[in-house]
Structure 1
Amino acid sequence: MPDRLRHLDDWLRGWGWASLVANGVLVVTGGVVRLTGSGLGCPTWPRCTEESFTPHGAYNVHSVIEFGNRMLTYVLVAVAVATFVAAWQSGRRDLRRIALVMALGIPAQAVIGGITVLTDLNPWIVSFHLLCSLAIIGVAVLFLQRVDHPAPVVARGPVVGLAWATFAAAWLVLYVGTVVTGSGPHAGDVKAPRNGLDPLQLSQLHADVVFLFVGLTVGLLFTLLATGASAPARTAVVVLLALEVGQGAIGFVQYFTDLPIVLVGFHMLGAALISASVTHVLLRVREPA
């Protein structure tokens, strides 16, 4: 029996990582769609064109990129279903609930993506589309944590409160970042609208909330060191801080070099990593055992 349970845990862990990686890839490929101006490569939804579900007879680089991103949804569905089946076989309600949330998130994302196309890449809906992917990444991290820690002892107190504040600041940074993008040049299509806000002022606001985020992370790290917190919690915060420094460096460079496509793509990958890392930090601090 112990060998069987160990094998099942490995199976669950593997599918949890598959969900995490697949949704991270979706963030990056979605960035490729926008950065190459391929957002309307398939000009309608759920069909690619008015006549077909595929860009048959109308192939160009933009339609191929957009259609390829749509096809990734089927990979995500397969991974989500397999994750849910594995969670169901485990007999654990907590894993079943988390896996169900991830599974329902995939078709929800597809619908949001369809609305994005039907509204000609409305920047506010595009922002929501990205944020949903980042949220699913966080849920995947929670799934992996629950596989290894099925019945955690939840800590309380000011240190946990600081971890929650850091988590909230991270999501504020992610949200403002999407609004900044919605005001900038990478609309996904030359005819797509922008949100009409001032990119310079939004960039300054984004930098301000980034400094808040970094400051809270540094404060959390010193607090954990002072209170003798567990090594995994301290390590998780150090990893998050390193990601913040790298992400901030990319952000400053791309701003002063007129937003080159490659750097913006790496910045989107960084957003996915930040979502995963800050969730991991919160869980490690909140569940120290």
Structure 2
Amino acid sequence: MSSSTRPGRWLLLLAWLSFIAEVLIIGTGGAVRLTGSGLGCSEWPLCTPESLVPTAELGIHGVIEFGNRTLTGVVGLLALAVLALTLLHLRARRELLLIASFAAGGIVIGAVAYFVAGALGAPGFVVFNAVLLLAVIAAALVTVPRIGARRDLVVLAFIVVGGVVAQALVGGITVLTGLNPFIVGFHYVSSVLLVMVASAFLVRAYEVPGPRESAAPRWVAILTYLTAIALGATLVFGVLTTANGPHSGDADVIRNGFDASLLAHIHAIPGYVLVGLLLLLAVAGVVLRLRLRRWAIALLLVIVVQVAVGVYQAREGLPPLAVGIHMVLAALSAAAMTVVVLRLRRPIASEGSFLASAAASSEIPSVAAGR
């Protein structure tokens, strides 16, 4: 397989589009919460008991909620395209056909389960998605061990596909539970995790395959992991804070009972720790000329903007637009943190990536820079 074939560029393009779509759906999901449109469509997957699409009576809330649902389909198609093109690049056509058979079987069995569940009064679409998720997991367990080269990319692509199906399942449960704050928060955190996996795919796609070695001193690696923990803590407390604030998705939703003002102060503590750790990491990267330095600096800048937005929204009474920007920047911060962690190691080999030529010519801010 040539490293300069044109399909490699298509795969790279689709991987970027998949990443962008994962970020966009966080933005549209935020719009659903911030405009009180969480129950803009009262049913799932139908918008109303009689209609798949929102009716005029639902107004703008129905349009916003249905738009977010529609983007889920786009995200899923892009994830499937990335998985299929990855297998085609690896000339794993038999494995691709095997996955297609699992998908077809999952759809057929899921459809039967949907109607049976409906007849029994159970939520059919939730059952359908559960069956489809099991089919994706089974396909991964059977096909991944058969892959030789670039198994890492196949695994990451599978995780995104499975994650999208799981998100559809959680989305249905979210509506059925009347926007339970904990499930809504889990829905957001899961979306951020998918953004991280999509960014990890891009990092590894640009990398040369083969054995890897450490690209930073041990103390820098420890500092990086501590920074990642601080970011995770900031994210979790941010989700809890939002769940108890005025933007839980619907005006009638009962929050989970925590003190939002207290959580906001707790949320700020790991945020400021994160800034300090990132500053140390960026300085270490520049002084030691580590391959993570550019992304550490980029992440530091994003987090500084995050802090500024957080302070602004706290002082201005949580304006919806500022909260939405805060949510999207949190996802981008997690993606950048993923790149920083992955750049703690570097390939030992100097050639062989089937995307190496695309990386070399790309004008996008590249994860291949700074080697």
TM, length-normalised to structure 1 = 0.94
1:146 aligns with 2:204: yes
Which residue number corresponds to residue 39 of structure 1?
38
- Asked if structure 2 preserves the Cα contact closer than 8 Å seen for 1:160 and 1:286, the reply is no
- Asked if structure 2 preserves the Cα contact closer than 8 Å seen for 1:9 and 1:147, the reply is no
* Percentage of pairs with the same residue: 41
Distance 1:202 1:139, change over 3 A: same
Query: Greater CA radius of gyration, 1 or 2?
Result: 2
Which residue number corresponds to residue 171 of structure 1?
232
- Asked if structure 2 preserves the Cα contact closer than 8 Å seen for 1:160 and 1:285, the reply is yes
Q: How far apart are residue 160 of structure 1 and its match?
A: 1.3
Q: How far apart are residue 94 of structure 1 and its match?
A: 1.7
Question: Aligned partners of 2:188 and 2:222: how far apart in 1?
Answer: 27
Question: Aligned partners of 1:204 and 1:108: how far apart in 2?
Answer: 32
1:219 aligns with 2:277: no
- Asked if structure 1 preserves the Cα contact closer than 8 Å seen for 2:313 and 2:322, the reply is yes
Which residue number corresponds to residue 310 of structure 2?
251
SS at match of 1:98: helix
Q: How far apart are residue 117 of structure 1 and its match?
A: 0.9
Question: Aligned partners of 2:191 and 2:57: how far apart in 1?
Answer: 29
* Alignment length (residue pairs): 286
SS at match of 1:193: coil
Q: Which runs of 5+ in 2 are unaligned?
A: 91-149, 348-370
1:125 aligns with 2:183: yes
Residue correspondence of structure 1 range 27-176 to structure 2 within 5 A = 27-56=26-55, 58-91=57-90, 92-149=150-207, 150-151=209-210, 153-155=212-214, 157-176=218-237
Question: Aligned partners of 1:169 and 1:10: how far apart in 2?
Answer: 36
Q: How far apart are residue 57 of structure 1 and its match?
A: 5.7
Q: How far apart are residue 6 of structure 1 and its match?
A: 4.2
Which residue number corresponds to residue 285 of structure 1?
344
Q: Which amino acid aligns with 2:333?
A: I
Question: Aligned partners of 1:192 and 1:272: how far apart in 2?
Answer: 25
Q: 1:269 aligns with which of 328, 345, 351?
A: 328
Q: Which amino acid aligns with 2:237?
A: V
Question: Aligned partners of 2:345 and 2:186: how far apart in 1?
Answer: 28
Q: How far apart are residue 45 of structure 1 and its match?
A: 1.7
- Asked if structure 2 preserves the Cα contact closer than 8 Å seen for 1:12 and 1:147, the reply is no
1:25 aligns with 2:86: no
Q: Which runs of 5+ in 1 are unaligned?
A: none
Question: Aligned partners of 1:147 and 1:281: how far apart in 2?
Answer: 15
Q: How far apart are residue 70 of structure 1 and its match?
A: 0.6
Question: Aligned partners of 1:139 and 1:21: how far apart in 2?
Answer: 12
SS at match of 1:60: helix
- Asked if structure 1 preserves the Cα contact closer than 8 Å seen for 2:15 and 2:198, the reply is yes
- Segment of structure 1 superposing worse, 168-177 or 148-157: 148-157
Q: How far apart are residue 190 of structure 1 and its match?
A: 0.9
Q: How far apart are residue 52 of structure 1 and its match?
A: 2.7
Question: Aligned partners of 2:210 and 2:17: how far apart in 1?
Answer: 23
Which residue number corresponds to residue 255 of structure 2?
194
Q: Deviations over 1:58-106 (max 9, x none)?
A: 4411111111111111101110111011111121322111111101111
Question: Aligned partners of 1:96 and 1:270: how far apart in 2?
Answer: 28
Q: CA RMSD in A?
A: 1.7
Q: Which amino acid aligns with 1:31?
A: G
Q: How far apart are residue 166 of structure 1 and its match?
A: 1.1
Q: Deviations over 1:222-276 (max 9, x none)?
A: 222343323xx11111100000000100000000000011111111121121111
Q: How far apart are residue 51 of structure 1 and its match?
A: 2.3
SS at match of 1:120: coil
SS at match of 1:187: coil
- Segment of structure 1 superposing worse, 143-152 or 38-47: 143-152
Q: How far apart are residue 212 of structure 1 and its match?
A: 1.3
